Amino acid sequence: MTVSNNAESELEPEVTVDGHRVDESPRVSDEVKFTTCYMCACRCGIKVHFKDGDVRYIEGNRDHPVNRGVLCAKGSAGIMHLKSPARLTKPLRRVGERGAGEFEEIEWEEALDLATAWLARARATNPHRLAFFTGRDQSQALTSWWAMQFGTPNYAAHGGFCSVNMAAAGLYTVGSAFWEFGEPDWEHTRYFMMFGVAEDHDSNPIKMGLSRLKERGVKFVSVNPVRTGYSAVADEWLGVTPGTDGLLVFALIHELINAGKVDVEYLRRYTNAPWLVVDDPGAADDGLFARDNEGRPLCWDGKTDGLCHALDPDVEPLLKGARPFADGRTARPVFELIAERYLDAQYAPDAVASRIGVSAATIRRIAAELAHAAFSEEVIIEQPWTDWAGRKHERMIGRPVSMHGMRGISAHSNGFHTCRAIHLLQIILGSIDTPGGWRFKPPYPKSLDSLPQPSGHPEDVSPNSPLPGPHLGFPRKPDDLLIDDDGTPQRIDKAFSWEAPLAAHGMMHTVISNAWRGDPYPIDTLFMYMANMAWNSAMNTAETIQMLTEKEGATDEYKIPRIIYSDAFYSEMVAYADLVLPDTTYLERWDCISLLDRPISDADSANDAIRHPVVTPQRDVRPFQDVLLDLGARLGLPGMVDEQGNPQYPGGYRDYMINHERRPGVGMLSGWRGANGIMSGTGPPNPDQLQRYIDNQGFWQGEIPTEARYFKNVNTAYLDYAYENSFVATRSPIILQLYSEELQQFRLAARGHGPAQPPEKHRERIETYFDPLPFWYRPFEEALEVADRFQLHAVTQRPMAMYHSWGSQNAWLRQIHTSNRLYVPRILAQSLGIDDEDWVWVESRNGRIKTRVRLMDGVNPNTVWTWNAIGKRAGAWNLAEDSPESKEGFLLNHLIHELLPARESGYRYSNSDPVTGQAAWYDLRVRIEKVAEEEAGEAAPQFNPLGKLSGVDERPSILRIGADVTDSSDKRQGA
Amino acid sequence: MTGLPTAPSEKRLGLVIDLDTCVGCHACAVNCKEWNTGGYHAPLTDERPYDTDPSGVWLNRIHTFEVGEGESGRLVHFPKSCLHCEDAPCVTVCPTGASYKRSEDGIVLVDEDMCIGCKLCSWACPYGAREYDQDAGVMKKCTLCIDRIYNENLDEIDRVPACVATCPASARHFGDLADPQSHVSRLVEARGGFDLMPEMETQPVNKYLPPRAKGGQAGGPGSDDKLMPAAGGFLAWLDRTLSD
């Protein structure tokens, strides 16, 4: 695929018929290398063109399964990421006070010795004293394994403040999740609803998919308080009040059930709708499934008019009616409970319309449209298949309604239940993984009982010992929580405690606050990677900065004594580290996008990919993954040293990617395993594997057999395929869980059953929020006493041209968004006498910020919003101190406290979803007020500018990228 | 002053931009910048890139604005670059012959060797589609990727402008608008493609496709479609369904 060096093109351009010289066939590049983008979380395939040794052009790889040739603004700005003057250049040791930005450059050997000494001390005394958290880390299969070998329970990536509500709700309901584990069937769907996608994940595939819908004339409904981006091109925009999406979904479910527009056969065969639920209030098994002696769930068989275990292939289960099952007790089918709950008048469109901000007629019509698409526009694929019960189906019949949801659902304290509600809606329509529905991506779906349980119980942690299992998992009952006998959290972030039992991604947003407070215990070393926790990734940024800098009493010791941080750039967080380990960019290192981590599969194939160093860094930086393995070897961590104590992976991450096995035959990459690389999925390590990836444009694609592509959770062909590829542990069907028995297990504990029960202060909360069927409640901040003072919702959207804070330091991308504004509904603004470009105070229960305003029509009338992560601290990122990012740009983060107000008991919960611990960013409530004239002109708060960092480049005053290709000086002479 | 081709060119190469599909992601603008900073107009200079008022040369820019009110209101993402007009005022105003329209395919180009940086063309262009490179002292503009579309060093499938190749939403189309059978001409015909500011009488080659009527295939805003409750209530309906 390398573009050849055409000798002809080196000649002088032809003079055209118009008398001008135009070279229409210039040499494009000397060499093309294929690798994987990292300018956001999509992980698109890219072709990097080199000319005269320099990166000339980056474009999308047409053959890549994620992006099929397209590339977004972020990916197209990769050159400026690589050339950024904010790049770190050398390991740094802090010499001034934290936050002063005063560092000395040190050699790597010294840096690694220092880190090893700090880490070894924590490991030898109490591994809890290390908190290792990574941000937008795409090497979590490595970082989590490293932390496991270290033995600290305190590890997670950024999922807890990103999308754990989506992940957990999906996995507990359908064994999969939106985005990375599933996608709409863009080619067949007839109706598409998108909930709360703040222009975010996933980026290119959604745009490509929407384009296919437009080509096919398919209706696209966007549910979002803000009409930008995707919502702007939707056929219908529902500008809901933030946090009410769940109510909208329940009203749709109400309408559908009331009209009998549900797929009864799908519910009976592939979901737990017929499973019987014990109806015995007060009993220890009330609300659990009625089971037979072998523990199998029961249902009522219509054919024999008797009990039958639910996975009997011959059963013809009923969906209603209380049934006797033992000792005169009765049980009721799940679906009857569902019908009872959602047919209730409280979920009728008329009852919820005003709160949602969408008319009842519109809700009724959308329900009718959903029913029409699902039941009158069936999609049929002429492909026979066999379901789990051995029933042969001559064709695949689909209910072509599909949905997608992300941050606007996730970032509320009611997000877990709302996300479950969306899946419930898809399930009753019978659409999940059917043609035209929302489809699973391998290695998902997985049944909940096959997913790991979290490690970090008191007995799991001891000096100089690894954890027995992974940190993050999926608790199924209170015994699985990481608490001691008193119910005290064992993790620094309190994940998997009574405060957030299903915190499957950890709770990074609580780490600094908890560590500073010493609650549940103090730590010794905070070790972070790619997480700008002193700025846009923190709630309550100003106080977080104080926590990072506050000292213990009169001593000279910081409350968080040691901070090690790795980043490629001079982010705000760098200034608060004691030791800075400079990372490379994505074009300068080995990486793998592994099926063991966050996969890039699509619904028709299992995919993985690599990055390889296509550019050699000219700075004294090292890939963090190499550094981590080096530290592991220095610490003598199990798996990182051989029997002689020498490094197990002397070739660094590249070596690990090839040779590391989780269990025999299962490694980081699935392609070209075994001798000669002839095995896919599983097989022994192949020393030539990475070259084979490079030869195949950096990715591997394992196609799913045709008969296995739909109904995956219950399709024998798929279950066989998944089992043979080690995606699942058994060939058992994965039954969709409308009713969550796991949630009921926690509720029963709150009602006084079982050995592990919540302490009194948590009991009511667990009882309330561990409802086994989804329900709606007001987001917590809205329910506070102070809420009356703050009548407006405030949310963010993510600019499509930027990702995280890296985007806004990029020389090209910052020309698109150099500062942000607060977008205010026009009618509201006019009522407050506020006009375009006016300055306002935005106040929440946590203080106030000063921002500049723009008026907008396309926004929910009770909502203000802004772009995420554009505001910067003066001096950071090697931008000019008075750059618009710091003088006019702002963060809403200052307004969001990481804790909820104290309860009567004095206890303060984190500002999170009570089930998953997901950070509730979008619960924020504010009020706005025009500033006095003399206050206008600069965003507030402002912080002392960070000083110039040792070693970083001078900011160029002009960029002439590509000038060497055609010498611009000639033009000036000619001018 | 510079003359336009005496006869209309046989080919009229241009872009068709779909305002119904453009989500305003700026992929086209940045990929254009990336290609062209090393291309025909290299470099597309960025002045003060990390300072208070960064300012660079962009051959394609996206404007975002709201139009209409209430149910008919919408947010429009409007990508704008040179429209390669048939009656291009930027050409006729050029005192040196630097600004010209190619007789073979209608592409409007600037020959930098002849450009004196007088900026008359940017004043003449009613669309504001010209970009002056202060550093180089010359005018730059969209070339329709003249160094891609005929480039024998590229695979044929890649011989389209960078903005078209990269657009994730397939909102941009490239082709010969003089050929009524071309993909782009058929799109214009089917979707009611329109000229930008026809009153300026510049006869732009590029066309825009208007946003489709809202609503999609079923019902739509204003419709009072709704589901009728199942006869006898849901549970009776369920009984009937299961007894079938």
pLDDT single digits (tens) A260-293: 999 999 999 999 999 999 999 999 999 999 999 9
Contact A259 B77 (CB under 8 A): no
The mean-pLDDT minimum among A141-145, A324-328, A821-825, A931-935 falls in A324-328
Tokens of B226: 């709704």
Tell me, yes or no, if A575 comes closer than 8 A to chain B by beta carbon: no
What domain range includes position A475?
92-166+449-580
Q: Give yes or no for residue A644 having a pLDDT over 50.
A: yes
Distance in angstroms (rounded) separating the CA atoms of residues A593 and A657: 10
Q: Across the interface, which of A9, A365, A880 has its CB nearest the CB of B226?
A: A365
- Segment A536-556 shows an average pLDDT of 95
The number of distinct structural domains making up chain B is 1
Q: Give yes or no for residue A553 having a pLDDT over 90.
A: no
Greatest C-alpha distance within chain A: 99
Which of B114, B122, B108, B123 lies closest to B95, judged by CA?
B114
User: Where does residue A226 rank: exposed (0-12), middle (13-18), buried (19+ CB within 10 A)?
Assistant: buried
The mean-pLDDT minimum among A72-81, A787-796, A801-810, B184-193 falls in A801-810
Q: What is residue A968's predicted lDDT score, i.e. its pLDDT?
A: 38
Task: Assign residue B163 the CATH number of its domain.
Answer: 3.30.70.20
CB A805 within 8 A of CB A872: yes
Which residues in chain A touch residue B52, judged by CB atoms under 8 angstroms apart? Answer: 880, 882-884
Q: What is residue A447's predicted lDDT score, i.e. its pLDDT?
A: 96
Per-residue pLDDT of A162-219, as tens digits, reads: 899 999 999 999 999 998 899 999 999 999 999 999 888 889 999 999 999 999 999 9
Which residues in chain B touch residue A961, judged by CB atoms under 8 angstroms apart? Answer: 37-38, 43-44, 46
Residue where one domain finishes, among candidates A555, A580, A605: A580
- Segment A934-960 shows an average pLDDT of 94
Q: Is residue A459 part of a domain?
A: yes
Q: What is residue B217's predicted lDDT score, i.e. its pLDDT?
A: 47
Q: Is residue A661 part of a domain?
A: no
Q: Is residue B87 part of a domain?
A: yes
| A365 and A300 in a common domain | yes
Q: Is residue A890 part of a domain?
A: yes
Q: What is residue A12's predicted lDDT score, i.e. its pLDDT?
A: 59
Return the percentage of chain B with pLDDT > 70, whole number. 95
| A801 and A833 in a common domain | yes
- Segment A436-447 shows an average pLDDT of 98
Residues 850-869 of A with CB under 8 A from B: 856-858
| A115 and A67 in a common domain | no
| A534 and A505 in a common domain | yes
- Segment A444-463 shows an average pLDDT of 97
- Distance between terminal CA atoms of chain A? 40
Q: What is residue B221's predicted lDDT score, i.e. its pLDDT?
A: 58
| A364 and A315 in a common domain | yes
| A927 and A802 in a common domain | yes
Q: List the single best residue of B22, B30, B113, B131 to mutate versus A (max A Cβ within 10 A).
A: B30
The number of distinct structural domains making up chain A is 4
Q: Is residue A257 part of a domain?
A: yes
Could you tell me which residue, B214 or B155, shows the higher pLDDT?
B155
Q: Give yes or no for residue A667 having a pLDDT over 80.
A: yes
| A130 and A241 in a common domain | no
- Segment A610-623 shows an average pLDDT of 97
| A422 and A551 in a common domain | no
Per-residue pLDDT of B32-48, as tens digits, reads: 999 999 999 999 999 99
Residues 98-137 of B with CB under 8 A from A: 100, 102-104, 109, 111-117, 135-137
What is the average pLDDT value for chain A, to the nearest integer?
95
Q: Give yes or no for residue B6 having a pLDDT over 90.
A: no
Amino acid at A774: P
- Segment A599-620 shows an average pLDDT of 97
Q: Give yes or no for residue A658 having a pLDDT over 50.
A: yes
Q: Is residue B238 part of a domain?
A: no
Q: What is residue A967's predicted lDDT score, i.e. its pLDDT?
A: 39
Q: Is residue B49 part of a domain?
A: yes
pTM of the full structure: 0.96
| A404 and A500 in a common domain | no
Distance in angstroms (rounded) separating the CA atoms of residues A662 and A633: 18
Q: What is residue A360's predicted lDDT score, i.e. its pLDDT?
A: 97
Long-range contacts for A41-44 (Cβ within 8 Å, ≥24 apart)?
Answer: A41/A136, A41/A138, A41/A201, A41/A202, A41/A203, A41/A803, A42/A66, A42/A67, A42/A72, A42/A201, A42/A202, A42/A203, A42/A204, A42/A205, A43/A138, A43/A593, A43/A600, A43/A609, A44/A70, A44/A71, A44/A72, A44/A75, A44/A204
Q: Give yes or no for residue B222 having a pLDDT over 70.
A: no
Return the percentage of chain A with pLDDT > 90, whole number. 92
Q: What is residue A8's predicted lDDT score, i.e. its pLDDT?
A: 43
| A396 and A287 in a common domain | yes
Q: Is residue B106 part of a domain?
A: yes
Contact B166 A60 (CB under 8 A): yes
Tell me, yes or no, if B49 comes closer than 8 A to chain A by beta carbon: yes
What domain range includes position B56?
13-214
Q: Is residue A873 part of a domain?
A: yes
**pLDDT band at B1, cuts 50/70/90?**
confident
Chain A, nearest residue to B6 by Cα: A18
| A403 and A350 in a common domain | yes
Which of A351, A337, A249 lies closest to A776, judged by CA?
A249
Q: Is residue B8 part of a domain?
A: no
Which residues in chain A touch residue B220, judged by CB atoms under 8 angstroms apart? Answer: 235-236
Q: Is residue B26 part of a domain?
A: yes
Q: Give yes or no for residue A404 having a pLDDT over 60.
A: yes
Which residues in chain A touch residue B51, judged by CB atoms under 8 angstroms apart? Answer: 879-880, 883, 955, 957
Q: What is residue A969's predicted lDDT score, i.e. its pLDDT?
A: 39
Contact B216 A261 (CB under 8 A): no
- Segment A930-941 shows an average pLDDT of 96
Tell me, yes or no, if B220 comes closer than 8 A to chain A by beta carbon: yes
Q: Is residue A895 part of a domain?
A: yes
Q: Give yes or no for residue A19 having a pLDDT over 60.
A: yes
The minimum CA-CA distance between B237 and chain A, rounded to whole Å, is: 6
Q: Is residue A858 part of a domain?
A: yes
Helix, strand, coil percent content, chain B, rounded in steps of 5? 25, 20, 60
Q: Is residue A714 part of a domain?
A: no
- Segment A489-493 shows an average pLDDT of 98
| A365 and A480 in a common domain | no
Task: Assign residue A804 the CATH number of its domain.
Answer: 2.40.40.20
Per-residue pLDDT of A419-433, as tens digits, reads: 999 999 999 999 999
Residue where one domain finishes, among candidates A388, A413, A444: A444
Q: What is residue A328's predicted lDDT score, i.e. its pLDDT?
A: 86
Which of A200, A916, A852 lies closest to A497, judged by CA?
A916
Residue B64's H or E segment, with its range, is strand B61-67
- Segment A795-806 shows an average pLDDT of 91
CB A194 within 8 A of CB A187: no
Chain A, nearest residue to B233 by Cα: A258
Residues 194-213 of B with CB under 8 A from A: 211-212
Q: Is residue B227 part of a domain?
A: no
Q: Is residue B235 part of a domain?
A: no
Q: What is residue A629's predicted lDDT score, i.e. its pLDDT?
A: 98
- Segment A740-755 shows an average pLDDT of 98
Amino acid at A234: A
